Amino acid sequence: MATRRTRSRRTALPRAYLSSIAIEVSNRQRALDWYTQKVGLDLLQDMGHWVTVGRRGSKARIHLCEWSEVSDGDPIEPGLLGITLKVPGGEREFLAACRTWKARGVRFGRPPSRRPWGWYARLKDPDGNEFMVMPGNQ
C-alpha cells in the first residue's frame, strides 16, 4: 500500500488557473456600466448570458450573472461558488486532470460531463463548497 501512495504523490498535479468568478447582479447592464465606466474594467466578452469584465491580457474575469437567470430570482444554490478554474489545453488534458484529481481523493459534485457548450465538472472542497472546472480552450 505504501508503494501505491508513493506513486500517487509523484503524479503531477493539474496546472489549473482561475478563469472567472460569477457574481449575482440584479441588472446586468447597470452592473456592466458600473464595472466598466466607474471602476475602469474592460468588457471582455458579451454573449448574452455570458458577460465578463476584467483586465485585457489577464485570464481572470468577473462573470455578471443576472438573478433572473439563476433560478427564478433565487440565489445560487448553497455551497455552489461562482468560481471557475480552467485546465490548460483541451478535452484530453481536462479529462486527464479530472482522473488525476479523482486518484488523489478529490470529490466531485458533478463528474466530468459534456454539454452543448463544452466540458465541465464541479469539484468539492473539504467543506462541501463546489466550483466549476473546464478545459482552458473553452
Task: CATH number of the domain at 52, please.
Answer: 3.10.180.10
Would residue 44 count as lying in a domain?
yes
Kind of pairing, strands 61-66 and 118-124?
unpaired
Distance CA 68, CA 136 (A): 28
Taking residues 5-26, what's their average pLDDT? Answer: 76
| pLDDT tens digits along 91-100 | 999 999 999 9
pLDDT of the residue at 1: 47
Distance CA 73, CA 77 (A): 11
For 87, how many CA atoms within 13 A lie in the half-sphere containing its CB? 24
If one counts the domains in the chain, the total is: 1
Would residue 4 count as lying in a domain?
no
pLDDT of the residue at 120: 94
Would residue 1 count as lying in a domain?
no
Q: 66 falls in which pLDDT band (50, 70, 90)?
A: confident
Would residue 128 count as lying in a domain?
yes
Would residue 5 count as lying in a domain?
no
Would residue 106 count as lying in a domain?
yes
Would residue 95 count as lying in a domain?
yes
Domain that holds residue 42: 13-135
| pLDDT tens digits along 104-119 | 999 999 999 999 989 9
Distance CA 36, CA 54 (A): 9
Name the 3-class secondary structure at 85: strand
Q: What is the mean pLDDT of the chain?
A: 83
Would residue 74 count as lying in a domain?
yes
